[in-house]
Amino acid sequence: MISLLRLRARLAAQVLMTISLPLCCAAAVAAPAADDEVWKGINSSFNTPLTSFLDGTAEESVSVRASFDLPLKPPSSSPVGSGRQGEPGSSPTVSVGFKYVPLTSWFLAMNFIKFVKPERQFAWHPDFTYAFGYDDWRPYTLSLQYANFGGNRLNPDKSRGEVRTRFSEGTWTLGFKFPMPSALEPYFLLQPDHAVGCNLGLNYTPRYADAATNSTLSGKRTITLGCKYSLPNNWYATMAATHYPNRGQQQPWNGDFTYGFGYFDWRPGSWSIQYNNYSGNRFPWRDRVEGTGRLRDGSLSLSTSRNFL
């Protein structure tokens, strides 16, 4: 038994050497210039100054955001959803979110949600959501985040199959931020002081609800490409398209794209008003599920935030 383990260890070491040596040599031959902006951004991603955290000099912060969300979607007796995943709700909600940043770009966030009309809260509408990871706002940087917006329950009813949360039904996202290429700016920017920032995301959900089989399946993968058009006075418009490598994994409530617009001010004590549509939007050449993918299937939100640290 011991000799077999040793043999496996030797084989693993040989495989690692075979893979890593060519990569190291290639990196040495094709190393980017020191002043390359893209390389600088990627190389600085996931920076973790632990010494500043230990000696108390880290830029630590705690913020709270309160929000009132008003869906434009009319109530339905047959909502689109399955298990703990589905279409956004039709009930107004009040939410309070907390975000803790122990180090720059590293975060832990929780959001508690109260449905004004509880009868419109279905199995996939959460009492709370949570997320954590690394999210760097600078261009040409990588990010890695986990987020769970499923049917999480503060007081789960076991007779209805509810649990506090199912961690495996959250989504992991590896992202890369970049500005719009300068060659395209004349075709998209209305004014020179406007800006467009984009984000490419590789998403993986270990376990997901499948409407066709009414069961939970494994290994959902998507690729998203989103861009945000920003004006100097905090007004913006955003849109993100989603590609499903396995088209069968797209659910009726999963859109081909999402979009939003409004006024967003990140400064503490300020107010923001936004419209967002995360419904089952479809491109014109694809059929949407009834009750999804319309302008009125989005929602309006009014929010404000405060810093406590």
**Could you tell me the mean pLDDT of each successive run of 10 residues in the chain, 309 residues long?**
42 39 41 70 83 71 96 85 88 97 93 96 95 95 97 94 95 96 91 95 97 93 98 96 97 96 94 96 92 93 93
pLDDT for 34 equals 47
Within a domain: 21: no
pLDDT for 56 equals 67
Residue 134 domain boundaries: 42-307
Within a domain: 115: yes
pLDDT for 1 equals 43
pLDDT for 139 equals 94
Within a domain: 9: no
From 185, 98, 180, 101, select the one nearest 136 (Cα to Cα).
101
129 neighbors 165 (Cβ within 8 angstroms):
no
Other CB atoms within 10 A of residue 134 CB: 19
The number of folded domains in the chain is 1
pLDDT for 149 equals 96
pLDDT for 116 equals 97
Query: Chain centroid to CA 298: how far?
Result: 18
Within a domain: 10: no
Within a domain: 279: yes
Within a domain: 15: no
Within a domain: 32: no
Q: What's this model's pTM, rounded to 2 decimal places?
A: 0.85
Within a domain: 196: yes
